[in-house]
Amino acid sequence: MSKYWRFDACPIRFLAAESQFTNFVPTSAMTPHVAIIDWRTAPQGDADSAIEKRIIGPAANVTRHLCDTDSDLDDEITSANAIIVWHNMPLTAHGIAKLTNCRAIIRNGVGFDSVDAAAARELGIAVCNVPDYGTEEVADHAIALAMALCRQLFPLDAEAKALGWNIKVADKLRRIRQQTFGIVGLGRIGTATALRAKALGFNVIFHDPYLPNGVDKALGVSRVRTLDDLLVQADVLSLHCPLIDETRHLISERELALLRPGSFVVNTARGAIIKKSAILSSLRTGHLAGAGLDVIEDEPLRTSHEAATPNLIATCHAAFCSVQSKIEMRTTSARIALAAVTGAKLENVVNGVA
């Protein structure tokens, strides 16, 4: 019997035949099921799952579940034909092994490091993401953090509200036109950030070993071939790469030391790309003039000591967030879930499962 019997085992001739019975009522056992897993600590969806239900319609039952970890998965979730999972709710190999009918796990967002994609692949379960939503928001957020650091908006605001007017941070204020903006990772968001930084007058350079030659010419920015070359030139370092084994702690003590004294770091990608202890230490010693971190390793900030780190702006993993982006994200993930339960082609598969 097919693993996906709930939606694969009903041939067209059967569906045509059932229309002859005016009192026919489908049983719940024959209706596919989409489970939405939201993070109990900070739910992002709505209790009614209104967007998902509108997109999926009568093709499947849609249920919503609040979980902290995949140890909270119950029988209703593990029997679902497709799962939509919000960020910060991890799906490990242990949890994925419990899934009995699942065709696709859809990660509600760009990053999918919270899902064990390899374990899903071993079981023939596709892992999908939503890579294009929020591109504008994250790029805008990265630029906003960079501008707040270069123009020292938060310290100036604090001084003004303390009834001071001495501009104590004058030595940290920067002329944008003479600053080099270094980008690591020139994908969708990195490109959008590069174009915004260029428009503001930054000298934009980037490092991305996976792009073909000529991208720099198309965008009118400069390419450097190694990360070290980028670090020694950058006044602002902005990270836009995925979190994979290769990029975990890509920026650690050594890399931060290569940055010019008084430079700034912005991270709107994934927290663990930067080693947390290393960047907090660099801020405390004053080697870095500031950091704007929308994401941070082992988020959220864990102690008052971490939160008191000088010259740190932290923004709660909110760069993706706007009313419009959340609607776009949920619409796309629901569309992929609908494809999963109807046997259609899946979008945005990241683990190679057809």
Averaged pLDDT in 10-residue chunks for the chain of 354 residues: 34 35 43 95 91 98 96 96 92 97 95 94 97 94 98 97 94 96 97 98 98 96 98 98 95 98 98 98 98 96 97 95 95 98 97 93
DSSP-based helix, strand, coil % in the chain, nearest 5? 40, 15, 45
Is residue 300 reached through a cis peptide bond, with omega within 30 degrees of 0 on the bond before it? yes
- Measure the CA angle with vertex 69, ends 115 and 334; round to 5°: 55
Identify whether the C-beta of residue 214 lies closer than 8 Å to the C-beta of residue 242: no
- Give catalytic residue positions: 270, 299, 317
Whole-number pLDDT of residue 11: 35
pLDDT of residue 42: 83
Q: What is the pLDDT of residue 29?
A: 53
The domain ranges of the chain are: 5-133+322-342, 135-314
Task: Give the pLDDT of residue 338.
Answer: 98
Q: What is the pLDDT of residue 44?
A: 87
Diameter of the chain measured on Cα atoms: 83
DSSP type of residue 349: B
Residue pair 253/277 in contact by the 8 Å Cβ criterion: no
Class of the 135-314 domain?
Answer: alpha beta
Cα–Cα distance between 8 and 267 in angstroms, integer?
Answer: 44
Q: Are 84 and 108 in contact (CB under 8 A)?
A: yes
Q: Tell me, what's the pLDDT at 115?
A: 96
Considering only CA atoms, which of 298, 268, 238 is closest in space to residue 280? 298
User: How many other β-carbons are positioned within 10 Å of the β-carbon of residue 48?
Assistant: 10
Q: Is the domain 5-133+322-342 a CATH 3.40.50.720 member?
A: yes
